[in-house]
Amino acid sequence: MEDPHASTSSPSTGTVGAGGHSAEHGHDDHGHDHSHSGNFWSTYVFSTDHKMIGMQYMFTSLIFLLVGFILILMMRYQLAYPGQPLTMERLSVNVSTSFANAGGYTWAWLNGRADAFEPEAFPETSTAPSAEDTAYKEQVRSLLDIALPSGWAASPGQLAQSAEATQARLQEMAASAGDDAVTQKVVADARGLIDNFAAQIAEPAAHLATLRAKLAETEAADASDATGNAELAGVITQVAEAQYEVNAITGYFSTHMGLLQFAPIPLTQQLFGYVQMPGGVMAPDFYNSLGAMHGTIMVFLAIVPLGFAAFGNYVMPLQIGAPDMCFPKLNMASYWIYLMGGIVGFMSFFVPGGAAKSGWTSYSPLASTADLPANFPVWLQWWPDALTGQSLWLIGLILLITSSLLGSVNFIATAIQLRCKGMTWMRLPFFCWCMFVTAFLLLLAFPPLEAAAIMQLMDRVAGTSFFLPTGLVVNGEPQTISGGGAPLLWQHLFWFLGHPEVYVLLLPAVGCVTEIIATNTRKPIWGYKSLVASVLVLGFLSFIVWAHHMYLTGMGTVVSTFFQATTIIISIPSVIIVTALLISLWGGSLRFNTPMLFATAFLPMFGIGGLTGIPLAFNATDLYLHDTYYVIAHFHYVVAPGIMFGLFGGVYHWYPKMFGRLMNEFWGKVHFWGSFVTINLVFMPMFLQGMSGMHRRWYDGGASWDLAKDVVYWNEVISISAFFLLLFQIPFILNVFLSLKWGPKTNNNPWHATTLEWSTPTPAGHGNFTEPPVVDKGPYEYSVPGMDEDFCPQNAVVAKAKGGQDLSPANV
């Protein structure tokens, strides 16, 4: 990571906004003992300073955000161009065909001939391989038939025969190859593998034959009184083991012979393997993995850590005037456990069977039985249950829950214990209230999911049936499990977290937006007290609405009536929050810098997301809409242009405090407008698709479904917009990194804001404040009548000037 403190070993002495306090200060006049040695590791890596941990969280979660986004882009490619290989060449051909069709259709429509328009077809795909490829595959397969004859394992003699025959055939092929490139390549590719196979199989096969003879002897000697014989059992076990070894070697070679191919291997296949991306075409299971991991990464690894952990860690202690978090070591542990959880989850892409593929909700029994090694090819059955995709997902989740537990305890304790002198509850910046409520949601809603994750892990590893009903049949095979479990139990435990989680995502963004709006309208936030009350009510209600995610389970009318009612009630505090923020704009002197653009865009975008949720709150309409793209559009409007915009605004807003440099305004605006336009083009058409009944989990994007035929073309629009959305993130990424070095230097309070974080040195040293701040007024004292400046920091000592009247008003 870039070194943010290096340039400011003698911090800026700008006192703008620091009121009566001097910001002159060196790093050595405050009390902490560690992190001052200049040791790189303890300062920048294993730091216990809340600001460094906040920045670590920020960079890590932004990286995960990008990863999660790229996963969904791969998925979008499959949806727009089903069955086409994912290579740069095909991408450009497909996208230009889409553009040509769009242009052609528009032209035809302008000329009134839209009905007669015939779209240009996409070029033929890899489903029709070249003649060389087919010939190559056939020759490899014929060699395979000779090398691995059926029933061969019974006799080593037969094995030797087939090895001889294979060699003879190979020589024959080599001799007759001539200029035939295909045959030459077959001989070259196959020879090494077949020799290797013959060398490896000889000894195990001979051993197996010996053991089989011994088994026959022992069986004959056994009186077979049908009550078991330990000696016989030992021999049978040996035979089974020897047979397993032979099967494994054969299975391994036959698979690898089958994987040989003539055409060059596309990059996506090299990255994700033949099973997941055969020939660069996405396999259905991999499509499911991408969807599941996109959701998981975005929710648990990107947005919660960015909103709650990064900004909360960095900003909240500064805003309440604390020297650090209550428990700095726990804070560090929280980050490192989070990182471990993220790596464990992400690495599951590279284990046999691939990553978790049962959705980010991981409903059982699908999730409990997916990718168990017992169903793997024989040479992979040794793979441990605990290291399959879904198990790693669960282990990663348990780590993340532990991390969030440490974080939330820390946040609540800090907010209660470490508020500086005069920082009463109703003088807290609204951002801190959001963090406070979010921390309670994490503290109380996450543990039941941890319990559920432990139980699902037990289902997968210890063979229990917590979520598996009696008589379960998987892939046509009745399972010999104890049964008696309840799939609904998982859903309840999951959504008991899942719904509060929505507010864990939302509230930090609301907090950021509030701070940005207050700063950039130069007037107090409208209705501070109602905002605080709303956020508390919201936090409480979020615990009793979870089953509205489960209307499709066929719950009874009494239960569903309760959850419909609470769901509608919870929209009241949400609307109060949005309305208060909207009214805050009224009559302000608005500064439309980049953070403000993001913050103002948040309001209508979140509004769209929220209002489109109302049909989903009612059982009757939800039954129709629930499994369609409508739901995807609804919650993505909340999360992507809503929450993510709020958090982007937060990055631009607090960046100068973190690094002492401003981000580039021009590229910030390019980032905003580009993202704003493309993200709406991505999600708005999904409402149309959903209302037309397009199911949200179709692997081919609905191409083969009659119901979707009128709206399926939107897939191309959505996917192309999503590719452009990625392009518009490049200015942001560059802006973040390049501004570390080349951004214009700034003073302590570039935005002329009032909250306490802007009266620390920039960047703040260890211990944050040069002297303990004392607060005597509310957080948003902007444009106080009669004052020279249009802002009055919370800790500013206001002279009883101008007529002897105390100008510092009471709470807003």
- Span 409-438, contacts to another protein by CB under 8 A: 409-410, 412-413, 416-418
CA distances from 586 to 50, 581, 582 (A): 36, 9, 7
Question: For another protein, which residue of 60, 289, 334, 408 counts as binding (CB under 8 A)?
Answer: 408
Among the listed ranges 79-87, 254-262, 298-306, 445-453, the one in contact with another protein (CB under 8 A) is 445-453
What does the per-residue mask of binding to another protein show for 122-151, with x meaning CB under 8 A? -----------------------------x
Residues for the chain: how many in total? 812
Question: Longest C-alpha distance within the chain, in Å?
Answer: 115
Q: Tell me which of 56, 126, 139, 465 binds another protein, using CB under 8 A.
A: 465
Counting contacts by CB under 8 A, is residue 449 touching another protein?
A: yes
Which two three-digit tokens encode residue 216?
């026959």
Q: Closer CB to another protein, residue 8 or residue 261?
A: 8
Span from 258-266, 300-308, 317-325, 513-521 in contact with another protein (CB under 8 A): 317-325
Q: Give CA 51 to chain center in angstroms.
A: 24
**DSSP H helices in 222-327:** 230-259, 267-276, 284-296, 304, 312-319
Task: Please compute Rg for the chain using Cα positions.
Answer: 32
Which pair of tokens denotes residue 367?
């999730």
Task: Find the shortest distance in angstroms from Cβ 509 to another protein.
Answer: 24
Q: CB of residue 100 vs another protein: minimum separation in angstroms?
A: 55
Selected range binding another protein among 240-248, 644-652, 681-689, 738-746, rule: CB under 8 A? 240-248
Query: Shortest approach of another protein to residue 459 CB, angstroms?
Result: 8
The count of chain residues that interact with another protein, using the rule CB under 8 A, is 78
Q: Which is nearer to another protein, 716 or 757 (CB)?
A: 757
Interface with another protein in residues 477-496 (CB under 8 A): 480-486, 488-489, 492-493, 496
How many distinct helices (H) and strands (E) make up the chain? 26, 2
Site for another protein in 25-44 (CB under 8 A): 30-33
- Site for another protein contains 450 (CB under 8 A): yes
Q: Does 323 bind another protein (CB under 8 A)?
A: yes
- Per DSSP (E only), the strands in 500-560 are none
Contact positions with another protein (CB under 8 A) in 586-615: none
Member of 111, 127, 176, 470 binding another protein (CB under 8 A): 470
Contact present, 601 and 517 (Cβ < 8 Å): no
Q: How close are the terminal C-alpha atoms of the chain, in Å?
A: 40
Tokens 């860690």, residue located:
313
Count of CA atoms in the C-beta half-sphere (13 A) of 375 = 12
C-alpha dihedral (454, 456, 457, 461), degrees to nearest 10: 140
Q: Which range, of 322-330, 335-343, 500-508, 667-675, touches another protein by CB under 8 A?
A: 322-330
Q: Which is nearer to another protein, 295 or 761 (CB)?
A: 761
Q: Which is nearer to another protein, 17 or 500 (CB)?
A: 500
802: tokens are 């101008």
Q: Among 174, 236, 351, 787, which residue interacts with another protein (rule: CB under 8 A)?
A: 236
Q: Which of 1, 100, 114, 154 binds another protein (CB under 8 A)?
A: 154
Asked if 244 touches another protein (CB under 8 A), the answer is yes
Residue pair 413/326 in contact by the 8 Å Cβ criterion: yes
251's tokens: 């299975």
- The nearest distance, CB 435 to another protein, in angstroms, is 14
> Where in 358-397 is the site for another protein (CB under 8 A)?
378
Stretch near another protein under the rule CB under 8 A, chosen from 128-136, 456-464, 621-629, 712-720: 456-464
**The one among 72, 153, 292, 617 contacting another protein by CB under 8 A:** 153
Question: Which among 15-23, 116-124, 463-471, 651-659 is the span making contact with another protein, rule CB under 8 A?
Answer: 463-471
The yes or no reply on residue 471 touching another protein (CB under 8 A) is: yes
Q: Look up residue 34 and give its amino acid.
A: H
Q: How far is the CB of 395 from another protein (least distance, A)?
A: 15
- The verdict on 448 binding another protein (CB under 8 A) reads yes
Cβ(23)–Cβ(777) below 8 Å = no
> Is 541 or 718 the residue whose CB approaches another protein more closely?
541
Instruction: Supply the angle between the helices 487-521 and 645-659 in degrees, to the nearest 10.
Output: 60
Say whether 474 sits in a helix, a strand or coil.
strand
**Contacting another protein (CB under 8 A), which of 6, 121, 131, 226?**
226
Alpha-carbon span 734 to 100, nearest angstrom: 32
Q: Using the rule CB under 8 A, is 531 a contact of another protein?
A: no
Within 10 A of 364 (CB to CB), how many other CB atoms are there?
27
Q: In 3-state terms, what secondary structure has residue 535?
A: helix
Q: Tell whether omega for the bond before 763 is within 30 degrees of 0, i.e. cis.
A: yes
Residue 453 CB: number of other CB atoms within 10 A?
23
Cα angle value 733/739/744 (rounded, 5°): 150
Nearer to another protein, 418 or 726 (CB): 418
Return the range that interacts with another protein (CB under 8 A); candidates 452-460, 658-666, 681-689, 783-791. 452-460
Which residue is associated with the tokens 């196979």? 197
User: Is residue 227 part of the contact set for another protein (CB under 8 A)?
Assistant: yes
Q: Residue 523 and residue 782: Cα distance in Å, rounded? A: 5
Give me the least distance between CB of 484 and another protein, in Å please: 4
Q: Which amino acid is at 334?
A: S
Separation between Cα atoms, residue 189 and residue 195, nearest integer Å: 11
- Smallest gap from Cβ 194 to another protein, in A, equals 20
Per-residue mark of binding to another protein, 79-118 (x: CB under 8 A): ----------------------------------------
240 lies in the site for another protein, by CB under 8 A = yes
For residue 327, state whether it binds another protein (rule: CB under 8 A): yes
Q: CA angle at residue 255 from 249 to 258, to 5 degrees?
A: 140
Query: What are the phi and psi torsion angles at 782 (to 5°)?
Result: -105, 145
Binding residues for another protein restricted to 699-718, rule: CB under 8 A? none
Q: Which is nearer to another protein, 184 or 375 (CB)?
A: 375
Q: Report DSSP state, residue 427.
A: G
